[in-house]
């Protein structure tokens, strides 16, 4: 996926730059998988953070783009990288 394609997907997500809302935009709520909206929100946020820390390639790319754990939001470049990772 190119950066332009990722930007197009990103514009349709309407997720914002906060990490939790962006993760929720990447993974829409599926009531068949989660017992509550809160459980879903926590699970998808945890999934993105876990993937960043455990996938060596994603971790390297995110840190090269200035990612720092426990910060509040993602930069545009980081969001593009995450879209490319999850929508390949």
User: Quick check: 25 and 18 in contact, CB under 8 A?
Assistant: no
- Is 32 in a helix, a strand, or coil? coil
Average per-residue pLDDT for the chain: 88
Closest CA to 82 of 54, 56, 51, 46: 51
Taking the C-alpha atoms of residue 86 and residue 88, their distance in angstroms, rounded to an integer, is 6
Confidence of residue 85 (pLDDT cuts 50, 70, 90): very high
Query: Is the pLDDT reported for residue 56 higher than 80?
Result: yes
63 pLDDT band, cuts 50/70/90, is very high
Task: Give the pLDDT of residue 51.
Answer: 96
Predicted local confidence at residue 11, as pLDDT: 83
Segment 8-33, tens digit of pLDDT: 888 888 777 788 888 888 888 777 88
């Amino acid at each position: 996926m190119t950066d332009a394609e990722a930007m197009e997907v990103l514009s349709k997500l309407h997720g914002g730059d906060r990490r939790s809302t962006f993760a929720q935009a990447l993974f829409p709520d599926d009531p068949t998988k989660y017992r509550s909206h809160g459980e879903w929100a926590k699970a998808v946020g945890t999934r993105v953070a876990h993937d960043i820390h455990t996938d060596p390639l994603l971790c390297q790319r995110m840190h090269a783009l200035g990612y720092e754990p426990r910060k509040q939001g993602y930069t545009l470049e980081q969001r593009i990288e995450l879209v490319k990772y999850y929508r390949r």
